[in-house]
Structure formats: C-alpha cells, structure tokens
Amino acid sequence: MPVVNRIILVFLIGIAAIGNNKALFLGGIIVLALSFLDRTYLLKLDKNIFLNGGLILLMIWMLMPIIQTEKDMVSIDIKDWLSIEGLVSLLSGLFIVIIAAKGLELMDSNPSATTGIIVGSIIGVTFFGGIPVGILTGSGIAYLIIRLLKKL
C-alpha cells in the first residue's frame, strides 16, 4: 500500500478525533491496521462483509423500538399508516432503499464518486452532526443527479 494512503488514513483519524467522531475514528484505526496485512490477503478480503455487518447492526437499531414500546404493534391505528405522514414515510423508505442500491453500483464502478461521497460524509458527520448511515443514501442521490445531468 502506498505510504500516502496511510497518511490520508492517519489524517482522517485525526479529523475524527478532533470532531469527536467515534465511528470514523474506530473505523479508521481498524482500516489502518488492516493496511499492514499481506496484500494478497487484502485482495481476497470481501469488503461486503463489512457492509453486511453494518447493515445488520443498522437493522437491529431500526427494529429495537418494536420491543421497547409499551404499545402492542397490532393496536397501532390504521389511520396512522394511511395519514399523509404515514404514506410519505412509507414511500420515502421504499424510494431511498432503491436509490441506495443504485448508489452502491455507482460506488463500485466509479472510484472518484466513492471518494467524493466518503469525504462529503466525513465532513457532514464530523462538522455538521450528521449520522454516517448516509453514505449509501448519498451515493444513490449522486447516482440520480449524475443520470439527470447526463440527460441534459
């Protein structure tokens, strides 16, 4: 691995420490440690393991309210689901997972897009109090904007 790549990782770890971004800090430390492993091992390492692990943890976070609420989920009024807020939320959830999948394709095929999305996410999390679940969402939005701009 080129030394400059490790320097960039150390820089990002420093930014994370200054911005009190624990997720970026720990992630950076782990990736920096991985960078010292044998190159042939790293090429065999499937990065999707980390994506799937993160998505599993995110799903656990999303499902926790089901067991933390005092209400029976069946007793939730159907009017809540059919309200403007309920329908817009349902459609937004559906839309965002579809464009996130397209964004993942963009990140796999375009290294410059990946770098821009990662740097933008780091800045958003570190300096603007964002939450780092937006990388796939951001890549999906980037995919849509790029497609739109190419059609103009």
pLDDT at 21 (0 to 100): 80
pLDDT at 54 (0 to 100): 84
Per the model's pLDDT, the better-predicted residue between 148 and 48 turns out to be: 148
Count CB neighbours of 132 within 10 A: 16
Share of the chain above pLDDT 70, in %: 95
Per the model's pLDDT, the better-predicted residue between 20 and 8 turns out to be: 8
Alpha-carbon span 30 to 7, nearest angstrom: 14
Please name the amino acid found at residue 118: I
pLDDT at 73 (0 to 100): 64
Q: Classify each residue of 25-47 as buried b or exposed e, where b means 16 or more C-beta atoms within 10 Å of its C-beta.
A: bebbeeebeeeeeeeeeeeeeee
Per the model's pLDDT, the better-predicted residue between 117 and 30 turns out to be: 30
Segment 46-64 shows an average pLDDT of 85
Average pLDDT, the chain: 84
Share of the chain above pLDDT 90, in %: 21
pLDDT tens digits, 18-27: 878 888 899 9
CB 130, CB 90: distance < 8 Å: no
3-state secondary structure of 3: helix
Q: Percentage helix, strand, coil, to 5, in the chain?
A: 85, 0, 15
Segment 92-102 shows an average pLDDT of 89
Predicted TM-score of the model (pTM)? 0.64
pLDDT tens digits, 98-152: 998 888 888 888 878 888 888 888 888 888 888 776 778 888 889 999 999 999 8
Q: How far is CA 148 from the centre of its chain?
A: 23
